Structure 1
């Protein structure tokens, strides 16, 4: 296996300025197959033609941010194959791509999702062996890129050592870091020392996998967030399906935002990536925590109304418009008291 790093002097663009967001992690080829009628195990199921597009959590977040008029770079790994070339070519329209091209047997990551007729995922497969080829030295070689970024988004597709190195570098250079859990199995790759993680975004089952706890209700989820605080995370956001988003900060801010039923759901693929992009937009614009979550939900609403992993309709104006439709001009405050969430009265 040979690793080809495309250095700064091989790029047309310079290293990003402090205004730029850096996304580190997966860039895959996404394949989506929609089942016609009721899905049945152990037999053949009729399906529609497979849709193929660029995917990967970090890459999807980066494209969403690019469509939201943010300056963004992507540090990822692709194979020396047609799929890798396709991802680089397509992604470069919205971001500055810094590809680590793996020569040899390792191929570009491929994610295949099987969807029901309502666009909801039945099962998915992920061929991601390529990310195991990346070593922590890649992160240390790119310290100037990380240190000059306004914010870093890290997904958990790379190895445990690469993830730990990224967290360490961000802490050392005081760069705000957002971590996306990706999945329960990949969540376990996070180190036990999470100092340097400013924002952690996960689902209850992913928190359970990492902490070894059973989270049955909101109080237990809030307790889990406090455990993450003790491990070093400043802000924890836990997405509870299509029902609500819970948030908790080390400064004592905590609560939940209900997710109102969306008007139309065509395909939920990419919803979590859209949420992260929306919240990063809110963070970089200086919004408080609850509105950061509301921007995430608003971005999800725009995404799931299309059959694309990243909606081609997303823009900064549309995001603000949807935010105002869902939440109004002013923020909504929620507090937690004796196991129940209450909306604060306006003062």
Structure 2
């Protein structure tokens, strides 16, 4: 470990709001036309995925509030309208229910709409459409219709956006049969996963961590033990490639304990493992549904210990499902209770945003606890 010390509050988890993530390992199938590789942050990588897919498939559309001419609040849809035209990239009224309902109809008709919800906190008015219509389309029609839509949204905290711009609602969607839920942690994966989501015939909730949107890679995250070279994986092919849904990434190999995480918490977990001095195996889930349970099971049976890290509140969070699955499949291999590190069970605390986030110190404490047979 370096001489620098980290604390949850004053070091801001080591990830500032204008800092971007980079990538995980690269199991994607890369097409021959991706020889051109350039540095991209996550915004640019997502934008590239949309441009490539819209150029290749005339059935792909992109729309949302301010997502047309302006290019979105975070510029993920920048220049789509100017490049692909008003009928394929356009602005919508301020009606999340309406724009998702329109996307469902388009998908049943045969199009592949990509809807932007400006912030994940705004997705709740569309929840009934997503749950009762999009998720059920294939089943209620006996396979006659599908809902090949992607609902994209920035999610999580880190930009001082307050209670209505910072929530992490992933567990509300992982519970719904018929939905797929994707959360990338880096530019390379973001582009490949979004491409795979657009080409999927079922609805995908695609949540984009705002803390990882912008800026260069910050070198203190580098872990010399890990083959996961983030600065290399911020190099993104300009052409088409996919990262398969349902395949996790072992971003750091280890033998002492398994850390399960996704999104921004991948970076926090790597830092926490270094801070604790523990030989942790860090798994970036990438896709929450479908879940790569085989990779998780193999890792926990190897290490005998497990810590789960996510930003959302702990109670009924996705970590509870992961904990149950690990216990069911790996009980006789566990040497200690499963640890969970998560956000507080409170409404999002604007004034204490950085204290709310799980940081390297909290992750390190959990790792040390499971290493001594304790629990959180």
| TM-score, normalization by structure 2 | 0.29
Greater share of residues in helix: 2
Greater share of residues in strand: 1
State the structure with bigger RCO (CA 8 A, min sep 6), 1 or 2.
2
| TM-score, normalization by structure 1 | 0.30
